[in-house]
Amino acid sequence: MRDAARTRTALLDAAREVFLRDGYAAAATEEIVSVAGVTRGALYHHFDDKRDLFRGVVERIQKEAEETLVPAEPVDDAWEGFTQAVLASLDAVYEPATRRLLLIEAPAVLGWAEVREAHRHSSLKAIERMLVTLDPETYEKPSIRTSVLAHLLVAAVEESMLYLAHSDDPVRDRPAVQGELLRLLESVRTPVNARETTTR
C-alpha cells in the first residue's frame, strides 16, 4: 500500500510538472511516466487515462488552494475571516499551477461544472454559516435567501479569479478587480432587515 501511494504521488508530481510546462493537449503520457520513473502499466493502474490523471492533478491543486484560505490565526470576526479568504483566493491566481491548470486548462478539459463541484459544497456551507453570524434574526435557520446569497458570493469570487487568470497583466488589474469585488461583498454585510428599515 505504501508503494502504491508513493507511485500515485510520483505520477501526480510528474503530471503536474509536464502539464504545467507543455499544457494538457501537448503533454505526453510517455513523458509523464518517464519523469515519474514508473511504467505505463503503473499509470493505468492508478488512472483510467490522461484525462483522469489531469483530474487528479486538478483535485490536488484545489485542496492546496483551499488550505491557503484558512486564516493562519483564529479570527473573531466572521466577516473579516471571509474577507481574508477572498483576498487569499485572488493571491492564488499568481501561482502558476493554479492559474494555468485550475483556472484556464481545467474548465476546457473537464468542464467548469465538474471543476467547481469538487470544492463548492464545502465553500457554500462555510459562507452560509458566516451569513448566519451577520444577522441571526434574518438567518436564524437555513433559508432560500441564505442559499442564494452564498451561491452569488461564491460565483463573484470565482469570476474574479477567472478574470485575473485570463488577464494579460493580472498584477495591473488586481486593484480594480479587488476593489469592485470587496464593494460587492460589502453590500451583503448589512443585514437585510436593516436595509429595509433604511429604505422606508
Please check whether residue 90 is in contact with residue 182, taking contact to mean a CB–CB distance below 8 angstroms: no
Q: Taking the CB of residue 93, how many other CB atoms lie within 10 A of it? A: 24
Q: What pLDDT was estimated at residue 35?
A: 97
CATH of span 55-199 = 1.10.357.10
- Length of the chain equals 200
Asked whether the predicted pLDDT for residue 99 surpasses 80, the reply is yes
Q: For the residues of 124-182, what is the DSSP string, one character each?
A: HHHHHHHHHHH-TTTTSS--HHHHHHHHHHHHHHHHHHHHHHH-S-HHHHHHHHHHHHH
| Residue recorded with cell 459544497 | 121
What would the mean pLDDT of 45-62 be, rounded to a whole number?
94
pLDDT (tens digit per residue) in 71-90:
666 667 778 888 888 888 89
Distance separating the N- and C-terminal Cα atoms of the chain: 66
C-alpha cell at 62: 484545489
Q: What pLDDT was estimated at residue 196?
A: 44
Q: Which CATH architecture describes the domain 1-47?
A: Orthogonal Bundle (1.10)
Domain range annotation of the chain = 1-47, 55-199
pLDDT (tens digit per residue) in 133-187:
766 555 555 577 778 888 888 889 889 999 999 999 999 999 999 999 999 888 8
Tell me, yes or no, if the pTM score tops 0.75. Answer: yes
